[in-house]
Every structure is written in structure tokens, then in C-alpha cells.
Structure 1
Amino acid sequence: MLELFLHPFSSYSWKVLIPLYENGTAFTYRMIEQPENGAELHRLWPVGKFPLLLDQGKPIYESSTIIEHLQRHHPGPVRLIPEDDAGIEVRMLDRIFDNHVMAQMQRVVNDALRPPERRDPVEVEQAKAALDKIYGWLDDWLAGRQWAAADSFSLADCAAAPSLFYADWVHEIPETLTHLRAYRARLLARPSVARAVDEARPYRHYFPPGAPDRD
């Protein structure tokens, strides 16, 4: 039996939930807000980061690695990492969404978590400028594409869904970037993504900069 340690409002938890839901993979939901699950997570991984997958007692760390593990050992009808050069493209977009969208969004969130006297408007300005750059690049990349890479729903889209969901909350995608905005809407309409969004709704008050009244 698979066990997943996670929080439903966590962006990287969504990244793993989406492929589990895509393939109808059975797992035990170990909500880290429950004290016994939080304690077990820290026992398994002293760093304390989640999600963490436990597969027959073996811990698997980091969301992209968890998805690859699921494909290899618990495959389903939706293959999220193709072979050959298509797989390279998928992994490339996965890293772009994590490093250039998710990470920049997180800089804004982290600033909002600080006490007011320690907040850094320059940090926030730089993060939003970096989001503007990657938004423009992604808009060009997505022209003529339904999904992010390899002509099918993939690991790259599992990374894109939470990163674009929350990034748009901290720095809205401009209306002129029609390809990127349409792609985000397609992601949110995908049943596996919509399920993750709905499960997280009760926790929106956790969002430090304040959740907008949309999505």
C-alpha cells in the first residue's frame, strides 16, 4: 500500500496528487496536520519537507522523483514521462515550472510570512519581474500547444498546474498573454487538477498574501 504524507494546500503535494488521481492509483492520505502523521514524516525525513511517498516502507522524496517512481512501479493508463527525446522535453518543462514559476511565486509568499518590519519590497519586485519574464517565454512556448510538452498531458503539466495556480494569485498573468492564460484554464478544468483545487479550498485562508476571490 502506498502512503502519501502531504497537505492539501501544498503546491508540491498537488503535483503528486494529480498523477495519482489521473491514474486512479490507490493510496493512504497521510495529512501532515495530524500530529501522528507529522511526527512520522519527520522520523522518515528529518528535513520535514513534503510530499513524501512511502512504498512498502521505503520513503521516496521530492515530487518529480515520486512521479517517476509511480510510473515505474505503479503504472496506470496515463504515462506521464515518455521515452526518448519527448521525455527530455517533459523533464525540461518540469524544471522550468518548478524553478522559474514556483520558486519565484514562493519568494513573494515567503516575504508575506515575515514580520512587517522584515519585509523586503525589493525582493518582491524582483520575484514579480522574474515571473513576468517567464510568463512571456511560456506564452510563446505554448502557442499552438494544448499541453506543455510532448503533445500529451505529462509530468510537465503536473508541475505547471500548482505553480501557475499560485503564481497567478501573487502576480496575475497579463490579459495579453492569451496562450498562457488559456493553458492555465485548461489545467484547472482537468478533473485531476480540479479535484486537487477543490480539496484545498478549506485552507485558502492559509495563503499568506491573501487568496483572491476566484478560481
Structure 2
Amino acid sequence: MSQPDIHLYTAATMNGYKPVIFLEEAEVPYDLTFINFAKQEQKAPGYLKLNPNGKIPTIVDRAEDRAIFESGAILWHLATKYGEFLPTDPVKQSEVMQWLFFQVGHIGPMMGQAMYFQRIAAPNGHDEPYSINRYVSESRRLLEVMNTRLEGRDWLAADEYTIADMATYPWARAYVWAKVEVDDLPHLKAWFDRIDARPAVQKALTIPKAQPQFWDAKADDGAFAAENAARFASDAKKG
């Protein structure tokens, strides 16, 4: 039996879900290797040959005999390879790429830091209110930018569902985990509802495993938060 072209290395994180969403939406066959952070598998020599930054996700495109790392680059590769979720019109394609880079350069880093300082640093003895306020406030500002953009629109770019939406959704939708308020952002919340209703997305959010604590405040009973903080305690100590 032949192997699928795409082999995905990923974990259950916001970046890790992004290529899974594309692959499930496009119904592209793939196989998957779960990267266990607790075992530092992302720093193993074999993996570093594929991704020198030692992060996830990474794909190997067997048909092209090469690895691609960085989630935005992976989504662009998959979209161009399979002709899905990226318009061919150059103006519309540029619009999609602008919002893709908005996620990669702003939404992800800022919300990631909001999560880090509240969910990892503080429980490990580095409670820094200034840093928390800085990143939560900037995350909120960026979600306000999205809310304005989505007024009168269903999707972020090109009047269609694209890799820009796929990239941004796991991060923005995790406002719960980042402790950012969105109750007064109706256009953003309507966008969440539209993507929440997509079966392929909901399936993707269970691969390699579900983390409902990221999306649902009621799911966070403290046990997962404590385990998460302990798992990344060594990162906090380095700080």
C-alpha cells in the first residue's frame, strides 16, 4: 500500500492544529507523527534535520522529497499544491496572504505571550502583572482589528474561506485560554460560530488529541492548567 504524500509532525497546540484543519477540510490523505513535548521530541536530532527551529508543525512532502516547517509556509504549500482555499486571482491572493501574515506576525505571537505569562510563568513563580497586561491588551486590540475587518464579511479575505481563516481560527478562538474578553465583539463571535459549525474543523481539533480547555471556559477545571504549567516549568526557569 502506498504512503500518502503528506506526513505531518504536530502536537495539540494552536499552531499544531492549523495544517490539520487544512488537510481535513481538503480531504487530503496524510499520516501523522505526534510530537511529545514532555519527551523533548521536537529537539531530537532526527527532527531537527526536518525543522532546525525545533518547533511544530512540520510536514514532509514525500512526492517532492522535502520538508517544510513554519505553519504559515505549510498552509501556503498545501494550498498551492492542492489548489484549495487560496484564490488564483493575484489581488485576492495577496489579500489572503496579508491576513495570513497578520496571524503569523501578530495574533499568534501576542496571544502566545498572553498565554505564556498567565499559564506558565505565573504558576511557576514568575507573576509579572506588567507583562500580562501588555500581552492581554495587545491581544485584545488585535481581536478588535479582526472584529472591524469582519463587519459585513463572512471571512477574513477574498470573500471566501481560505488559509487565512484556518490559520487565525485556532489562535483567536483560544481567547478563553489567553483570558481575553470578546463578549462585545459581535462580528468576531459570528466568525467563530461559522467556523465552529464546520465538521472538518471540529474533527481537526481532536487530532492528535482534543484540548477543550483552550476553547471552553467550563472545561478548564484547573487540572489541565496545572499539568500544562508543570510540563513547561523548565521554560519558565530559563526566564
The TM-score bracket by the shorter chain reads 0.7 to 0.9
The whole-number CA distance in structure 1 between the counterparts of 2:98 and 2:130 is: 29
CA contact (8 A) 1:101 1:167 kept: no
CA contact (8 A) 1:51 1:63 kept: yes
Shift of residue 14 of structure 1? 1.2
The whole-number CA distance in structure 1 between the counterparts of 2:71 and 2:7 is: 14
- Would the alpha carbon gap of residues 36 and 128 (structure 1) be closer, same or farther in structure 2, given more than 3 Å must change? closer
1:60-111 Cα offsets, whole Å, 9 max, x none, are 11111112222333x15x3335431111111111122233222111112222
More deviation in 155-164 or 90-99?
Answer: 90-99
- Would the alpha carbon gap of residues 6 and 169 (structure 1) be closer, same or farther in structure 2, given more than 3 Å must change? same
Shift of residue 169 of structure 1? 2.8
Alignment partner, residue 44 of structure 1: 50
- SS of match in other structure, 1:54: strand
- Would the alpha carbon gap of residues 89 and 168 (structure 1) be closer, same or farther in structure 2, given more than 3 Å must change? farther
- Would the alpha carbon gap of residues 178 and 188 (structure 1) be closer, same or farther in structure 2, given more than 3 Å must change? same
- Would the alpha carbon gap of residues 3 and 71 (structure 1) be closer, same or farther in structure 2, given more than 3 Å must change? same
Shift of residue 124 of structure 1? 0.8
User: TM-score, normalized by length of structure 1?
Assistant: 0.85
Gaps of 5+ in 1: none
Shift of residue 200 of structure 1? 6.0
Q: Name which of 136, 139, 154 aligns with 1:146.
A: 154
Aligned length: 209
The yes-or-no answer on 1:160 pairing with 2:165 is no
- SS of match in other structure, 1:3: strand
Gaps of 5+ in 2: 221-239
User: TM-score, normalized by length of structure 2?
Assistant: 0.77
Shift of residue 121 of structure 1? 1.4
Alignment partner, residue 2 of structure 1: 6
The whole-number CA distance in structure 2 between the counterparts of 1:54 and 1:200 is: 17
- Would the alpha carbon gap of residues 201 and 212 (structure 1) be closer, same or farther in structure 2, given more than 3 Å must change? farther
RMSD: 2.6
The yes-or-no answer on 1:108 pairing with 2:111 is no
- Would the alpha carbon gap of residues 5 and 201 (structure 1) be closer, same or farther in structure 2, given more than 3 Å must change? closer
Amino acid at match of 1:93: W
The whole-number CA distance in structure 2 between the counterparts of 1:11 and 1:169 is: 11
Q: Name which of 31, 37, 40 aligns with 1:28.
A: 31
The yes-or-no answer on 1:60 pairing with 2:68 is yes
The whole-number CA distance in structure 1 between the counterparts of 2:10 and 2:157 is: 27
The whole-number CA distance in structure 2 between the counterparts of 1:42 and 1:203 is: 26
